[in-house]
Amino acid sequence: MEFCDKCGALMLPGKSGTTVLCPTCGKRAKSGDIILTEKLEKSKKLKKVGKEVRDTMPIGEMECPKCGNKEAYFWSEQTRGSDEPETQFYRCTKCSNTWRLYS
């Protein structure tokens, strides 16, 4: 399904099959172009949202022991006394599995 980017009406396939035509405003577009744009915009949006969430946490290369994904957020915390070494935490970007690594 393709929608007119001008007025939002459902585009109808043109005679040639490679174009679509808006019955409301008469806009013509190549079939496939609109879908492609939609996909691009969607992935852009996803990336943007993801960035906002992830801005506070750096992402590093670390294999998730649960799902095998190779990217994880990481941060370190002083869990016990201040004389103890910091504990490195990882959270999988894919399945949100969190694990720790003792230094």
Q: C-beta of 25: minimal distance to Zn ion in Å?
A: 3
Close Cβ partners of 52 (under 8 Å, ≥ 6 residues apart):
none
Close Cβ partners of 37 (under 8 Å, ≥ 6 residues apart):
5
Binding residue (CB under 5 A) for Zn ion from 42, 44, 48, 66: 66
Binding residue (CB under 5 A) for Zn ion from 2, 64, 90, 91: 64
Stretch that binds Zn ion, among 32-40, 43-51, 64-72, 82-90 (CB under 5 A): 64-72
Give which of 72, 89, 34 is closest to 103, Cα–Cα: 89
Burial 61-80 (b: 16+ CB within 10 A, else e): ebebeeeeeeebbbeeeeee
Residues 4-43 close enough to bind Zn ion by CB under 5 A: 4, 6-7, 9, 22, 24-25, 27
Residue 33 annotated in active site: no
**What is the contact surface with Zn ion in residues (CB under 5 A)?**
4, 6-7, 9, 22, 24-25, 27, 64, 66-67, 69, 92, 94-95, 97
Please give the positions annotated as active site.
83-84
